[in-house]
Amino acid sequence: MAILKIARMGHPVLLAQAMPVADVAACELVRLVGDMVETLADAGGVGLAAPQVFRGVRLFIYHVPGSRADDGADMAMRVVFNPVVTPLGDEMVMGWEGCLSIPGLRAAVPRFARVRLAAQDETGAGFEVEASGFEARVIQHEADHLDGVMYPMRMRDFRYFGFNEEISRSGLEIPEDADAD
Protein backbone atom coordinates (compact mmCIF):
# COMPACT_ATOMS: atom_id res chain seq x y z
CA MET A 1 0.00 0.00 0.00
CA ALA A 2 1.07 3.56 -0.67
CA ILE A 3 0.05 7.04 0.33
CA LEU A 4 -0.99 8.88 -2.82
CA LYS A 5 -0.62 12.57 -3.62
CA ILE A 6 -3.92 14.46 -3.38
CA ALA A 7 -4.88 16.78 -6.23
CA ARG A 8 -5.68 20.32 -5.14
CA MET A 9 -8.32 22.67 -6.44
CA GLY A 10 -7.21 24.07 -9.78
CA HIS A 11 -5.99 20.77 -11.21
CA PRO A 12 -8.04 19.73 -14.28
CA VAL A 13 -8.56 16.16 -13.00
CA LEU A 14 -10.94 17.59 -10.38
CA LEU A 15 -13.13 19.20 -13.05
CA ALA A 16 -13.47 16.18 -15.34
CA GLN A 17 -16.26 13.61 -15.55
CA ALA A 18 -14.96 10.28 -14.17
CA MET A 19 -15.44 7.14 -16.26
CA PRO A 20 -17.58 4.16 -15.13
CA VAL A 21 -15.72 1.09 -13.90
CA ALA A 22 -16.38 -2.14 -15.83
CA ASP A 23 -14.36 -4.58 -13.67
CA VAL A 24 -14.13 -3.49 -10.04
CA ALA A 25 -12.02 -6.58 -9.22
CA ALA A 26 -9.21 -5.63 -11.64
CA CYS A 27 -5.83 -5.81 -9.91
CA GLU A 28 -5.06 -2.13 -10.44
CA LEU A 29 -8.39 -1.13 -8.84
CA VAL A 30 -7.88 -3.45 -5.86
CA ARG A 31 -4.50 -1.75 -5.35
CA LEU A 32 -6.05 1.70 -5.87
CA VAL A 33 -8.70 1.06 -3.20
CA GLY A 34 -6.02 -0.03 -0.72
CA ASP A 35 -3.90 3.02 -1.50
CA MET A 36 -6.93 5.31 -1.16
CA VAL A 37 -7.77 3.84 2.26
CA GLU A 38 -4.18 4.43 3.41
CA THR A 39 -4.16 7.94 1.91
CA LEU A 40 -7.44 8.86 3.61
CA ALA A 41 -6.21 7.59 6.97
CA ASP A 42 -2.98 9.57 6.59
CA ALA A 43 -4.87 12.75 5.61
CA GLY A 44 -7.40 12.42 8.42
CA GLY A 45 -10.47 12.84 6.23
CA VAL A 46 -13.78 10.98 6.04
CA GLY A 47 -14.03 10.53 2.27
CA LEU A 48 -11.85 10.39 -0.81
CA ALA A 49 -12.79 10.14 -4.49
CA ALA A 50 -10.55 8.64 -7.16
CA PRO A 51 -10.20 11.95 -9.07
CA GLN A 52 -8.66 13.41 -5.91
CA VAL A 53 -5.75 10.99 -6.36
CA PHE A 54 -5.49 11.67 -10.11
CA ARG A 55 -7.59 8.66 -11.24
CA GLY A 56 -10.57 9.45 -13.47
CA VAL A 57 -12.78 6.53 -12.45
CA ARG A 58 -16.15 6.43 -10.67
CA LEU A 59 -14.92 5.30 -7.26
CA PHE A 60 -14.98 6.81 -3.80
CA ILE A 61 -14.49 5.61 -0.24
CA TYR A 62 -15.92 7.01 2.96
CA HIS A 63 -16.60 6.29 6.60
CA VAL A 64 -18.52 8.06 9.33
CA PRO A 65 -16.92 8.54 12.75
CA GLY A 66 -19.22 7.91 15.69
CA SER A 67 -18.95 11.55 16.71
CA ARG A 68 -20.69 12.52 13.44
CA ALA A 69 -23.11 9.56 13.11
CA ASP A 70 -26.82 9.86 13.84
CA ASP A 71 -26.65 6.81 16.12
CA GLY A 72 -23.24 7.61 17.65
CA ALA A 73 -21.61 4.45 16.25
CA ASP A 74 -18.59 4.38 13.97
CA MET A 75 -19.45 3.31 10.44
CA ALA A 76 -16.73 1.23 8.80
CA MET A 77 -15.07 2.25 5.57
CA ARG A 78 -17.33 1.77 2.55
CA VAL A 79 -16.01 1.29 -1.00
CA VAL A 80 -18.32 2.73 -3.67
CA PHE A 81 -17.99 2.04 -7.40
CA ASN A 82 -20.28 3.52 -10.07
CA PRO A 83 -22.59 5.33 -7.63
CA VAL A 84 -26.04 6.66 -8.41
CA VAL A 85 -27.25 9.13 -5.78
CA THR A 86 -30.96 9.92 -5.65
CA PRO A 87 -32.49 12.53 -3.32
CA LEU A 88 -35.24 11.22 -1.05
CA GLY A 89 -37.43 14.31 -0.88
CA ASP A 90 -36.84 17.99 -1.49
CA GLU A 91 -35.54 18.98 1.95
CA MET A 92 -32.15 20.69 1.84
CA VAL A 93 -29.91 21.39 4.83
CA MET A 94 -26.93 23.70 5.19
CA GLY A 95 -23.80 22.32 6.78
CA TRP A 96 -20.07 22.90 7.00
CA GLU A 97 -17.90 21.07 4.49
CA GLY A 98 -14.19 20.84 3.94
CA CYS A 99 -12.22 18.93 1.34
CA LEU A 100 -8.80 17.33 1.20
CA SER A 101 -8.37 18.99 -2.21
CA ILE A 102 -9.01 22.43 -0.68
CA PRO A 103 -6.87 22.21 2.46
CA GLY A 104 -7.47 24.56 5.37
CA LEU A 105 -10.83 25.91 4.20
CA ARG A 106 -14.48 25.11 4.79
CA ALA A 107 -17.85 26.52 3.82
CA ALA A 108 -21.59 26.28 4.38
CA VAL A 109 -22.99 24.09 1.61
CA PRO A 110 -26.61 23.06 0.93
CA ARG A 111 -27.22 19.33 0.49
CA PHE A 112 -30.24 17.04 0.35
CA ALA A 113 -31.20 15.87 3.83
CA ARG A 114 -31.76 12.27 2.71
CA VAL A 115 -30.41 10.29 -0.24
CA ARG A 116 -30.37 6.78 -1.65
CA LEU A 117 -27.00 5.46 -2.81
CA ALA A 118 -27.03 2.59 -5.33
CA ALA A 119 -23.58 1.29 -6.26
CA GLN A 120 -21.19 -1.64 -6.36
CA ASP A 121 -18.82 -2.61 -3.57
CA GLU A 122 -15.22 -3.77 -3.96
CA THR A 123 -16.38 -7.29 -4.95
CA GLY A 124 -18.68 -5.99 -7.67
CA ALA A 125 -21.83 -6.79 -5.68
CA GLY A 126 -24.59 -4.22 -5.96
CA PHE A 127 -25.91 -2.52 -2.85
CA GLU A 128 -28.29 0.25 -1.82
CA VAL A 129 -28.15 2.48 1.22
CA GLU A 130 -30.50 5.18 2.45
CA ALA A 131 -28.60 7.86 4.28
CA SER A 132 -29.32 11.03 6.21
CA GLY A 133 -27.35 13.50 8.27
CA PHE A 134 -23.59 13.54 7.94
CA GLU A 135 -23.49 10.31 5.92
CA ALA A 136 -25.82 11.79 3.28
CA ARG A 137 -23.61 14.91 3.12
CA VAL A 138 -20.43 12.87 2.64
CA ILE A 139 -22.01 10.69 -0.05
CA GLN A 140 -23.14 13.77 -2.01
CA HIS A 141 -19.77 15.50 -1.59
CA GLU A 142 -17.79 12.48 -2.83
CA ALA A 143 -20.22 11.72 -5.68
CA ASP A 144 -19.85 15.35 -6.81
CA HIS A 145 -16.11 14.76 -7.28
CA LEU A 146 -16.94 12.07 -9.85
CA ASP A 147 -18.83 14.68 -11.86
CA GLY A 148 -16.14 17.36 -11.65
CA VAL A 149 -18.00 19.37 -9.00
CA MET A 150 -16.25 20.79 -5.93
CA TYR A 151 -18.11 22.17 -2.92
CA PRO A 152 -17.46 25.88 -3.66
CA MET A 153 -19.54 25.38 -6.82
CA ARG A 154 -22.51 24.48 -4.57
CA MET A 155 -22.16 27.45 -2.22
CA ARG A 156 -24.86 30.11 -2.03
CA ASP A 157 -23.38 32.58 0.48
CA PHE A 158 -19.67 33.30 0.49
CA ARG A 159 -19.88 34.95 3.92
CA TYR A 160 -19.75 31.37 5.25
CA PHE A 161 -16.49 30.39 3.52
CA GLY A 162 -13.18 30.69 5.29
CA PHE A 163 -10.14 29.21 6.92
CA ASN A 164 -10.78 26.45 9.45
CA GLU A 165 -8.85 28.23 12.23
CA GLU A 166 -10.71 31.52 11.76
CA ILE A 167 -14.13 29.87 11.66
CA SER A 168 -13.33 27.85 14.80
CA ARG A 169 -11.79 30.81 16.63
CA SER A 170 -14.67 33.14 15.81
CA GLY A 171 -17.40 30.58 16.46
CA LEU A 172 -19.03 31.44 13.13
CA GLU A 173 -22.27 29.52 12.81
CA ILE A 174 -24.61 29.00 9.91
CA PRO A 175 -27.81 30.92 10.69
CA GLU A 176 -31.06 28.97 11.01
CA ASP A 177 -32.53 30.97 8.16
CA ALA A 178 -29.59 30.37 5.78
CA ASP A 179 -30.81 29.70 2.27
CA ALA A 180 -30.71 25.92 1.86
CA ASP A 181 -33.46 25.86 -0.76
Both ends of the chain: CA-CA distance in Å?
A: 42
Compute φ and ψ for 149, nearest 5 degrees.
Answer: -110, 130
**Catalytic: which of 38, 122, 142, 166?**
142
- Residue 67 in contact with residue 18, Cβ under 8 Å? no
Measured CA to CA, the distance from residue 70 to residue 23 in angstroms comes to 33
Instruction: Name the residue among 108, 94, 122, 100 with its Cα closest to residue 39.
Output: 100
Asked if 173 is an active-site residue, the reply is no
C-alpha dist (Å) from residue 104 to 69, 99, 162:
23, 8, 8
Query: Which positions are annotated as active-site residues?
Result: 142
